[in-house]
A and B are shown apart, each in its own frame.
Chain A
Amino acid sequence: MKFLHLVWRNLMRRKIRTFITIMTIMVAFLLFGGLMAIRAAFSMGVDVAGADRLMMIHKVSIIQPLPKSYGDRIRAVEGITALSHANWFGGYYQEPSNFVQSMAVDPETWLQMYPEFEVPGDQKKVWLGDRIGAIIGADLAARMNWKVGDRVPLLAPIYQVAKDGPWEFTIDGIYNSSKQGVDKTQFFFHYEYLNEVMRKIPGMADVVGWYVFRVADPSTSDQLAKRIDAMFANSSAETKTATEKAFVSDFAKQIGDIGSIMMAIAGIVMFFILFVAGNAMAQSVRERINELGVLKTLGFTDGRILSLVLMESCAIAILGGGLGLLLSWTFITTFGDPTGGLLPIFHFPPRDVIFGALLVFVLGIGTGMIPALQASRLKIVDALRRT
């Protein structure tokens, strides 16, 4: 440790180069943070999708509704412990560009099904008793500047046949989540409110968009899914059941290779930037070969030379990489989604922060290793002969 000063002086020898190298590495890790957040956004929350939750949609596509009567039949199946359902409402506030991810749900069972939506107890109580009440995610509340108690009119083109003009809602609560990666841009309201209005139109009432249910034992999910689909086979509305994870990941795959192409290109470039930085670090060691020869003449052992050079490269990597990770984490948590609501799940997953930190060490040791080995294997005579 007494050689720390030596390491420091070496770093400060060419301040500009050291500074630039650190900045380059910082940029690479900023990019890394951004990439990981984009990856999380494109996977649409597959990380937080419950493994014990199954989803059931109409076999043809998610836009076809299912009869409400299916609920009771599923509840009777052994191994199903809870059931809820939702309808896509697709509302918007004043302008179609103010899109609100709104759904009509069965309030009580919905909150039980999704404990990750955390609503304060008193707000929850109000909501359950308020027919036209809604609870909304914290991110949506911030984007639209809505507060508890606000009256909010939403227009819904899908349900316009039943109600010409806006649907009135009262914001009863705002949900948040202690879990990262939970979509906080959603708007939930009472299914009963929707259904009542839909009764005016023959054939439009008593249908639900999709069912979600919890299984007692996740290892039986696939079997249960098959059994439930068989129950509704050859009926007017055949079904497709799978784990929530499978649905989310299939849905994310619909974005297709444009997501992976963007990730791949940017990933390659990130490694390229690191390569350039590493090259600069290696070069600074090569320039001082004869100095290292002098140190050896003074009695520094091979191992000590190796560790000196490695300490120098690791110091640069940790400074640059740490700064980059810290900055990207700060930006992502402070500003969130850069597109203003189009990528609801935008965060820097802790697992990826750890991966980034590992990468910093690999970079420090990787770039230092070759010149460090060269330096430690130097014969004093050769080293001193170079000018």
Chain B
Amino acid sequence: MNWITQTIAVTGVTLRSISQRVGSSVVAIIGIAGVVIVFTAVLSIAEGFRAAMQGTGDPQTVIVLRSGSDTEMTSGFGGEEANLIAEAPGLERGPEGVHASPELFVIVGHPLKRSGTDANVPLRGVTPAALRVRPKTRIIEGRMFTPGTNEIVVGQAASNQFSGLTVGAPVRWGDSSWQVVGIFDADGSVSESELWCDAKVLQGAYRRGNSYQSVYARLETPDSFQTFKDALTKNPRLNITVIREPDYYSQQSVVLQTVIRTIGFSIAILMALGAIFGALNTMYSAVANRTREIATLRALGFGSSPVVVSVLVEAILLSVVGGIIGGGLAWIAFDGYQTATMNWQSFSQVAFAFAVTPVLLAEGLIFAVIMGFLGGLFPAIRAARLPVVTALRQL
């Protein structure tokens, strides 16, 4: 008999004997499934946050900030500079003029639905060009605000996460009152967490004079970025940085992603250790239970490596089952779960949905297989090294 047929035969015997050890096998499967659930669930938070932030990015859209600022929150320039930026070459034009929108970005304290406590909600002052700069954004309920009035439109996610933001509702922050007149959808992107109002009105309400914090502009083609950027950086009257929207938002999500990923990975690794010990326990007792059987096979002339392989196959099979169960449960329980958190970089709330992606599921499965392999390796070696004579004599 050659090695391969030996291996197949021994593995077949091993797998058929699992039915006699259902209890301990189930414990190992559940242990690994638990780790995969946690691994997938925690990383789906980071993944969902990333998707919301990067879904916002359109390579044809650019953001202009004051040089040295890495967020809109800390940026700022005057109205004149904003006009200069809008006049630069390389920008798309439509019948209503150039597609550039100077904007303000402030936060207001507004209660969260789930806790009733105040959270930093982003309030963006925009110009009518804002919708032309963001073609994916559209009003899905009510209407756009009328420029010059204290009307606001709210993102769909903001309306879900914060209390009292429905069409027709009045809201009050400090000494200014506003009226919600519409809800907008932005294809699941981060702007759905924002509230929008007229930039001029916001300047007045926040005593910002004629100043803005950013200019959002749409390029003629994605390639005209360099033309636009060069024109601005060469202008001695401007001191600004230009960044493509996708780059800006991926930069904005770095901190939170690092935190979630670090925590997620350290928890998952610790738990993986726990699960490996669980698998070790299961496989050692599996080997111990079958001592006589294995010794018999060896006495019949089976080599030791087929025995090693058969034990490893059993361990990996159990872990694959655990991985599939864990990934499936995580997907059922967490995929699409809507929540909001504070993005530390913009100091404001961002709503997003957990995303259990196929890549995450695959990673979870690979993780499970590694745990199974490690958990099966030592018991497999032990099985192969059993001295045949003493093992046969064993009870």
Residues of chain B within 8 A (CB-CB) of A250 are 117-119
Contact present for A61 and B284 (CB under 8 Å): no
B278 within 8 A of A: yes
Residue of B nearest to A21 (CB): B281
> Closest 7 interchain pairs by CB?
A157-B74, A60-B174, A254-B342, A157-B69, A27-B274, A273-B274, A24-B277
Contact check: which of A96, A253, A254, A342 meets B258 at CB < 8 Å? A342
Given contacts A238-B174, A276-B278, A338-B262, contact A254 B349 (CB under 8 A): yes
Flag if B260 contacts A64 (CB, 8 Å). Answer: no
Question: Which residues on B sit within 8 Å (CB–CB) of A265?
Answer: 37-38, 41-42
Question: Which chain A residues border B260 with CB–CB below 8 Å?
Answer: 258, 262
Q: A31-B270, A254-B341, A273-B278 are in contact. List 19 more A-B contacts (CB 8 A).
A: A17-B285, A20-B277, A23-B273, A23-B277, A58-B174, A60-B173, A61-B108, A61-B173, A62-B107, A64-B106, A157-B75, A238-B174, A250-B117, A257-B339, A262-B263, A265-B37, A269-B34, A273-B274, A342-B255
Contacts of A20 in B (CB 8 A): 277, 280-281, 284
A257 touches B114 (CB 8 A): yes
How long is the Cα–Cα vector from A273 to B274 in the complex, in angstroms? 7
Knowing A61-B109, A238-B174 are in contact, say whether A258-B70 is a contact too (CB < 8 A).
no
Main secondary structure of the interface of A (DSSP, over half): helix
Contact residue among B45, B108, B267 (Cβ-Cβ distance under 8 Å from A31)? B267
A157 touching B66, Cβ below 8 Å: yes
B97 within 8 A of A: no
Q: Is A51 an interface residue (CB 8 A)?
A: no
Q: Which residues does chain A contribute within 8 Å of B75, judged by CB atoms?
A: 157
B68 touches A339 (CB 8 A): no
Are A272 and B38 in contact, with the CB atoms below 8 A? Answer: no
Partner of B109, one of A38, A90, A203, A240: A240
Q: How far is the CA of A38 from the CA of B270 in the complex (A)?
A: 14
Give residues of chain B (263-312) contacting chain A, Cβ–Cβ below 8 Å. 263-264, 266-267, 270-271, 273-275, 277-278, 280-281, 284-285
Q: Does A354 contact B (CB under 8 A)?
A: no
Residue from A90, A262, A273 in contact with B45 in the complex, judged by beta carbons closer than 8 Å? A262
Interface-central residue, B37, B66, B174, B262, by most chain A CB under 10 Å: B174
Query: How many Å lie between the Cα of A63 and that of B175 in the bound state?
Result: 16
Check B263 against A38 for contact (C-beta < 8 Å).
yes
For residue B215, CB closer than 8 A to chain A, the reply is no
Cβ contacts under 8 Å, A164 to chain B:
239
Task: List chain A residues, Cβ under 8 A from B342.
Answer: 254-256
Instruction: Tell whether A1 is near chain B: CB-to-CB under 8 Å.
Output: no
Interface residues in B116-132 by Cβ distance below 8 A to A read: 117-120
Interface residue range, chain A: 35 or more
In the docked arrangement, what's the CA distance between A360 and B343, Å?
37
* Contact among B38, B117, B118 with A269 in the assembled complex (CB-CB below 8 Å): B38
Tell me whether A266 and B74 are in contact (CB under 8 A).
no
Question: For the complex, is B259 an interface residue (Cβ under 8 Å from A)?
Answer: yes
Q: Is A144 an interface residue (CB 8 A)?
A: no
Measured CA separation A370–B118 after assembly (Å): 49
Known: A158-B74, A262-B45. A343 touches B259 (CB 8 A): yes
Closest residue of chain A to B239 (Cβ to Cβ) is: A164
Contact of B339 among A161, A258, A266, A280 (CB under 8 A): A258
A31, B263: Cβ atoms closer than 8 Å:
no
Given A157-B66, A342-B255, verify A262-B42 contact (CB < 8 Å). yes
Whether B281 lies near A280 (C-beta < 8 A) is yes
Decide: B38 and A157 in contact? CB cutoff 8 A: no
Please tell me if B145 contacts chain A, counting CB pairs below 8 Å.
no
A62 vs B37: C-alpha distance in the bound complex, in angstroms? 38
- A76 interface hit (Cβ, 8 Å): no
